[in-house]
Amino acid sequence: MLKIAPSILSADFAKLGEEITAVDKAGADWIHIDVMDGHFVPNLTFGPCVIKAIRSYTDKPFDVHLMIDPAQAYLEEYAKAGADIITVHAEADKHLHRSVQCIKDLGKKAGVSLNPATPVNTVKYVLDEIDMILVMSVNPGFGGQKFITSQLEKIKRLKDMIGDRDIDIQVDGGVNPATIKSVVDAGANVVVAGSAVFGGNYAENIKAIHAASK
Ligand code: DX5
Ligand code: ZN
């Protein structure tokens, strides 16, 4: 069953708690939280203090996408703030295996994200350690960008590489009712959607993504 993780990057930051409760009630499976540092990506969002403050607004898993470099030094803070899944970028830090190990040692699910230009081989030797691969289908930093179609082939290749391991394939960027079917057909089972969910009726928007995925 497809999981939808609305990205609160497109929510109204002035009422983040209420927005999270609203998107939970509208049918979100996970809450996707985009952490940006103005260094790894050309934008800044929020850090552990904000995550801690919004934790009580839902019981749904907090899916924390760290677009920060370095990341490893901050993993414990994000775990303590209430993250359930922590995703680091393969392009950040120098020791991906160590970052993954650190997330697992903190008792959290570990994800690894690949930018659009990063090859699938990058995750080959951490496959036995991770719970999720996040395929960026836009260059990270901003919501509302156009889906990069070359990433469909990457999703397929990752699915083959994963084999029978229990690893989620998550796709992030430009996912909406027009692109969702190709993403699911390629092999993704979790999708992030920001601008396609926040705006208008959230429940209708989530329903429309599910409907178009079949
Ligand atoms: C981009 C973020 C995404 C973003 C997706 O760097 O990682 O999660 O919010 O936004 P949409 O769904 O609007 O492309
Ligand atoms: Zn994201």
**195 residue type, one letter:** S
> Residues for the chain: how many in total?
214
**C-alpha span between 48 and 41 (Å, rounded):** 18
Ligand 1 pocket check for 143: Cβ under 6 Å: yes
pLDDT digits (tens, 9 = 90+) for 35-82: 999 999 999 999 999 999 999 999 999 999 999 999 999 999 999 999
pTM of the model: 0.98
How far away, in angstroms, is 134 Cα from ligand 1 center?
A: 12
3-class DSSP string for the chain: CCEEEEEHHHCCHHHHHHHHHHHHHCCCCCEEEEEEECCCCCCECCCHHHHHHHHHHCCCCEEEEEECCCCHHHHHHHHHHCCCEEEEECCCCCCHHHHHHHHHHCCCEEEEEECCCCCHHHHHHHCCCCCEEEEECCCCCCCCCCCCCCHHHHHHHHHHHHCCCCCEEEEECCCCCCCHHHHHHHCCCEEEECCCCCCCCHHHHHHHHHHHCC
In this prediction, does ipTM exceed 0.95?
yes
What's the domain count of the chain?
A: 1
Ligand 1 pocket check for 175: Cβ under 6 Å: yes
Domain range enclosing 172? 3-212
Q: What is the pLDDT of residue 40?
A: 98
Give the CATH number for residue 44: 3.20.20.70
- With the most atoms of ligand 1 within 8 angstroms of its CB, the residue from 39, 112, 195, 198 to mutate is 195
Q: What is the pLDDT of residue 155?
A: 98
**77 residue type, one letter:** E
Per-residue pLDDT band at 139 (split at 50, 70, 90): very high
- Nearest alpha-carbon partner for 93 in 65, 121, 74: 74
Burial (CB count <10 Å: 0-12, 13-18, 19+), residue 66 = buried
How far away, in angstroms, is 211 Cα from ligand 2 center?
A: 22
